[in-house]
Structure 1
Amino acid sequence: MKRVGILGGTFDPPHIGHLIIANEVLHAKELDEIWFMPNQEPPHKIKTVSVLNEQRVQMLKLAISGYEKFLIQTIELNRKGKSYTFDTIKVLKEEYPEIDFYFIVGADMVEYLPKWHKIDELMKLVKFISVNRPNYQLETSFDVDYVEVPDVNISSNLIRNRIESGKTISYLVRDEVERYIKEYRLYES
């Protein structure tokens, strides 16, 4: 069976931290691919995304270009309303019965797992893989695998704030993503 890791998020914008997590999990768990899955409206976040869905997908394409094992899955962008992982995984398992899916989360989400929609049923459908994040614990009563990744304290919020303040984002995102952000004047105040 093919083994695919899913890395969900707003990717608003995608940054080097996302790529490091994907690469570390891909190799540590010997997965065949990582699917980056931009979400529509994550139930755990208050603020919605800052740019159009098409722009987030385009930035993701630029971020993963050249990485043949990194792909984009837009299933959640095609649905309106809140994106629940349970619903997404159910559909993916029906569409791709020949794939074993692994859902990648940061330590911040591990702490939040008890509040996830239909978490007990979800745990039967997909294997969770957690990665460390600065200032978060990895303790949970749920069956979650763990991959240690280098501590890179970069967030999309940090990048948006730096752009808004006129600061550099070089080396925080791939050069292609930075050029796209500048060309379309994204995240400027």
Structure 2
Amino acid sequence: MKKVGLYFGTFNPFHIGHLIIANHLVEHTDMDEVWLVITPQSPFKKKKNLLKNHHRLELVYRGTEDYEKLKPCDVEFNLPQPSYTSKTLAELKDSHPDLDFSLIMGEDNLVNFHKWRNFQTILDNHEIYICPRHTKSEVPEQFLNHPKINITTTPQMEISSTLIREMIKSGKNTRPLLQHKVWEYMDEMNFYK
């Protein structure tokens, strides 16, 4: 059964940090593919600097089209809001029963994972791959040495979408932080200016 890792994010914008992490995971774990799941804009929380869903999907598409093991995924665009990971996983399993889905998350998310809706169901049915963070967090005892939780050696990136948006707004060059096709689309569309 093909193993697919799910990397969730707003990707506002999708940058080389996201690309490096996704590529590292698909090349250095037993995952066959990594799907980048674009989190939709919540109808309850309007963020003025959050690009529309289709633009963020386009950024991820352009940023990954040269990487055959990385795929954009818009499954949450058609699910009720707010999105819950357990519902997304159930939807994907229903539509792709032949695939084995794993969850990718930052170490900081593992700290509060026990507060997620249906976290135990997620853990019972899916492996979780943890990306380390520079700031160390106190991981709950129940998740330490858990057989379904895998700590990875992904590079720790100091690049953030917030930093990129701020740099663009102040007229600074962000080209080195963005895959070239992503930068071209953002420049053409005048995003974040």
TM over 0.5: yes
1:82 aligned partner? 82
Q: Distance in 2 between matches of 1:136 and 1:97?
A: 36
* Structure 1 residue 41: Cα displacement: 4.5
Query: What is the CA RMSD across the aligned residues, in angstroms?
Result: 1.7
Q: What are the ranges of 5 or more consecutive residues in structure 2 without an aligned counterpart?
A: none
Q: How does 1:1-189 map to 2 (within 5 A)?
A: 1-41=1-41, 48=47, 50-137=50-137, 139-140=139-140, 141-142=142-143, 143=146, 144-188=149-193
Report the TM-score, using the length of structure 1 for normalisation.
0.91
Q: Is the 8 A contact 2:41 2:53 kept in 1?
A: no
Q: Kindly tell me the number of residue pairs found equivalent between the two proteins.
A: 185
Q: Distance in 1 between matches of 2:136 and 2:50?
A: 26
Q: Distance in 2 between matches of 1:172 and 1:32?
A: 26
More helix by percentage: 2
* Structure 1 residue 166: Cα displacement: 1.2
Kindly provide the amino acid, as one letter, of the partner of residue 119 in structure 1: F
Report the TM-score, using the length of structure 2 for normalisation.
0.89
Kindly provide the amino acid, as one letter, of the partner of residue 79 in structure 1: L
Q: What SS is found at the alignment partner of 1:51?
A: coil
Q: What SS is found at the alignment partner of 1:20?
A: helix
* Structure 1 residue 124: Cα displacement: 1.5
Q: What SS is found at the alignment partner of 2:55?
A: helix
Please give the per-residue CA displacement for 1:30-81, whole angstroms capped at 9, x wherever unaligned.
Answer: 2111111101257xxx774611111001111111021011111111012242
- Identity of paired residues, percent? 32
Q: Distance in 2 between matches of 1:68 and 1:90?
A: 25
Q: What SS is found at the alignment partner of 2:166?
A: helix
Provide runs of 4+ in structure 1 moved above 2 Å.
Answer: 46-49, 136-143
